[in-house]
Chain A
Amino acid sequence: MNKGDDDRDIVVDMEAGLEHMSRGTGRHLSRFVATIEPYYRSMEIAKRVAALATELGIGEVVAVANKVRDAGDRKAIGDFCKAHSLKLAGEIPFDPTLLEAERAGKTPIDYDDDGPAVRAIRKLAETLGAQ
């Protein structure tokens, strides 16, 4: 991507594998966010994704903890990030209002713009923007 991109934020929803990404694509991204849920398979995939993103030359790879229910979840993800030298950029709590929103046929932010997960994502945006 080229002209006009400087004043536009780009958010890409990737699939778990980055197989269809090329070095050329990665060059246009400033940061790569690997979501991590507090269970083994999710962490293993995050590890693989982070390694691949680094290989693709994406500026910075950070992790975001997702669906965190308690201190045990927090510790599991924190330990994992430490062990694999991943910077934890934010934490999004397990939030039942997300399911309520889905049942109501609304987006999370339109259903409750002050819900726990939406609040956490707003904070994440500030963190990512400030870095």
Chain B
Amino acid sequence: MRIAIAGKGGTGKTTIAGTLARVLAQSGRRVLAIDADTTPNLAVTLGVPAAAAQEMMSLPRNMMERQTQEDGTTKTVFVADSEKVIADYSAAGPDGIRLLVMGKVDHGGAG
């Protein structure tokens, strides 16, 4: 399954996302968890060791593109090969989970 979880800020949403990822991984699934919150803290709920979370590299700018929409607003679009991104930029969590943090992407001056 490929699901996104959203809702009002607070710990509930991240607790559900992190625990859901763990439950799926423990049932034998390969799981990629993606933290797309601007205040990323999914690592904690997943149980990714603090050191591994700290060492995570910011996603390179050329992987994300700021594109201008017809209505004049800009959106960030994923353009890189996902397998390579996972291999290069994800952190290892419990039960074989891989974690990517999108919130670390620096939008300053992009586009």
Chain A contacts to B: CB under 8 angstroms: 1-5, 7-16, 18, 20-22, 24-25, 28-37, 41-42, 45-46, 49, 53, 58, 64, 66-67, 92, 98, 106-110, 117-118, 121-122, 124-125, 128-129
Contacts and interface: CB of A to CB of B under 8 A. Distances in A.
Interface residues of B, number: 51
Contacts of A25: 77-78
A116 to B, nearest CB: 12
A28 B5 CA distance: 14
A15 B36 contact: yes
Interface of B: 1-24, 26-27, 29-39, 42, 44-47, 67, 75-78, 81-83, 94
A85 B35 CA distance: 28
A96 to B, nearest CB: 13
Contact of A108 (B4, B7, B15): B15
Contacts of B4: 11-12, 14, 29, 31-33, 53, 58
A120 B34 CA distance: 22
Contacts of B13: 13-14, 35, 66
Contact of A11 (B3, B7, B67): B3
Contacts of A5: 2, 82
A107 B18 contact: yes
A53 B5 CA distance: 11
